[in-house]
Structure 1
Amino acid sequence: MGDCDLAAHAAGDVFVVFSRLRRRVKALAVEGDLTPAQASVLARLDKEGPASASDLAVAERVRPQSMAKIVMTMELAGLVERNPDPTDGRRQLVTLTEQGRERRIGDRLAREQWLARTLREHCTDDQLRAVIEVMGLLDDVTHA
């Protein structure tokens, strides 16, 4: 197998495995779990900061009416709050609350603990070191 074929094979394997892992991690139930849409909005707000509901709807590829319901539910749960946009008083920005940030961290921690436990059950120490090394290589590729 040539270098190009080898790289294409590796790329295909990475995409398949990451897709499976992503689906599996997202499917994990956490007590009082959020809907996938709510979890996605929490993650987006945590990574990108405050956004209008219409911007969230576009980013999440849902109808504005659907996003309005998602935001309202999350606001009632204390996970987000709406505040006037400092640059445009007619718009409201959805902001992650401290409770929302803690929830996001808690959900992520539960999923990381599941993955660590699963890796421990299925891998030797040498295999775990190989996973760590490969993740470092893939991280380098994302910064290239």
Structure 2
Amino acid sequence: MIESRRGAVSPSAVRAAGDVWVVVSRLRRRLKELATEEDLTPAQASVLARLDKHGPASASELAAAERVRPQSAAKIIAALEQAGLVERRPDPEDGRRQLVTLTRLGLKRRQGDRRARQEWLARALQERCTEEQCRTIIEAMALLDEVAQS
């Protein structure tokens, strides 16, 4: 057992953490190879994904959701705005606030990038995995998403 500030950590949890770290790093590098020259940073892509999934948000909401400082979120939003991928609009419920929204170009970019990478990964999984293994991956991703959200 490994000791942490919160108590003992089982060997299987330590092994799982190490394996996830290595696999996610490799997968990220591989997906990055599929990127175009004008690809976004991981932080910018994450903000676009969040806006696509959850809709308009304020800069402070994006900073909190992405777990970055407000200054970092402001830089990310400014870069996306300069690229024409997002725009700021007054909040209809509170005119003092600005909401960041995807532009048509931002939505198109989000869908195109996601589609190319998802197609590659889907083909690779189909070539190497059984249906049961794919379902196991789906379940594992749901668990990891819960961990990431906590």
TM-score, length of structure 1 as denominator length: 0.72
1:45: Cα distance to partner?
Answer: 0.8
Paired residues of 1:82 and 1:92 also in contact (CA < 8 A):
yes
What are the equivalent positions in structure 2 for 1:46-85 lying under 5 Å apart? 46-85=52-91
Match of 1:40 among 37, 43, 46: 46
- Structure 1 residue ranges without an equivalent (≥5): 1-7
TM-score, length of structure 2 as denominator length: 0.69
In 1: Cα distance, 2:75 partner to 2:140 partner: 38
Percent of matched pairs sharing the same residue: 55
The answer to whether residue 134 in structure 2 is matched with residue 132 in structure 1 is yes
The residue aligned with 1:5 is none
The answer to whether residue 116 in structure 2 is matched with residue 110 in structure 1 is yes
In 1: Cα distance, 2:142 partner to 2:125 partner: 22
Specify the code of the residue in structure 2 equivalent to 1:57: A
Paired residues of 1:26 and 1:36 also in contact (CA < 8 A):
no
Look up the SS of the partner of 1:62 in the other structure. Answer: coil
Q: 1:15 to 1:101 in 2, by over 3 A?
A: farther
Deviations 1:86-113 (A, max 9, x none): 1110110000112111211112112222
- Structure 2 residue ranges without an equivalent (≥5): 1-10, 146-150
In 1: Cα distance, 2:142 partner to 2:122 partner: 22
Q: 1:66 to 1:136 in 2, by over 3 A?
A: closer
The residue aligned with 1:26 is 28
Number of residue-to-residue matches in the alignment: 130
Paired residues of 2:58 and 2:98 also in contact (CA < 8 A):
yes
In 2: Cα distance, 1:49 partner to 1:40 partner: 13
